[in-house]
Structure 1
Amino acid sequence: MPTHYRIVLCTCPDPDTATGLARRLVEARLAACVNVVPGLTSVYAWQGRIETDHEVLLLAKTRADRFEALADYLRRHHPYELPEIVAVPIEQGDSPYLQWIDSWLDAS
């Protein structure tokens, strides 16, 4: 199975921000689907301190050839100074689902 498909993870500060970004990523054909997962508690190092925040996770399904454009979009529109933008290769997936990703991303 080819690994040119990706899941991109991005945390957001609240459901409205997450849903808005998710919708715009799909509308722009940078992702075929974005799951909005609420209820996340993040513990992270930031500016020399350990912080704890409630966040919402985005899981965007896309291809490697769309990653840079997707990341650029998130950097420009995300409210965080340094948003989490991490891509994980999809090593295996159901062929019809992966073809559906292609059909959305390649449609004009």
Structure 2
Amino acid sequence: MVTPPDSIRVLFVTIPPTQAEAFVQALVEARVVACGNILPGRSIYRWQGALCREDEAVVLLETTADALEAAMAHIAAAHPYDCPKIIALEPLAVAAAYAAWVHAELGGRSQTA
């Protein structure tokens, strides 16, 4: 069964690989995200006029729509970059059991499932 996707948000963040695990753990412990997946990545971008290539961790974080603002604030405050990539995505569909778990982990913030 699929739950209305408007209750779940996925945050896409990049961070130095050496800091990723502690970063995600702090967000989970603060109960602003239910889960974080850490993937290896490589970013190529322009910063202050220079072309940069960096190994980065790609972090996918699951939260609720109600916790999104708090999650983004925690991420911004804890992130080591001057201009961190913090992108919130709304999924097309979410498995009902998974959505229920995310809500339960975040203290049951208004569930629409």
Q: Please say whether Structure 1 and Structure 2 have the same fold, judged by a TM-score greater than 0.5.
A: yes
Q: Distance in 2 between matches of 1:58 and 1:6?
A: 13
SS of residue paired to 1:97: helix
5+ residue gaps, structure 2, are: 109-113
Identity among equivalent positions (%) equals: 33
Provide the rounded CA distance (Å) in 2 between the counterparts of 1:67 and 1:50: 32
Match of residue 45 from structure 1:
46
* Structure 2 partner of 1:21: 23
Q: Is residue 4–residue 90 contact of structure 1 (8 Å, CA) maintained in 2?
A: no
TM-score w.r.t. structure 2 length?
A: 0.86
> Residue 98 of structure 1: CA displacement?
0.5
Superimposed CA distance per residue, residues 34-88 of structure 1 (whole angstroms, 9 cap, x where no aligned partner): 00112x1101121122211110011000012212111111111111111110000
| Residue of structure 1 equivalent to 2:12 | 9
Letter in structure 2 aligned against 1:11: T
Give me the whole-angstrom Cα distance separating, in 2, the residues matched to 1:105 and 1:61. Answer: 10
Report the counterpart of residue 78 of structure 2 in structure 1: 77
TM-score, reference length from structure 1: 0.90
Counterparts in 2 of 1:85-100, with a 5 A limit? 85-100=86-101
Give ranges in structure 1 of 5+ residues lacking alignment: none
CA RMSD of aligned residues (A): 1.2
Give the total of aligned pairs: 105
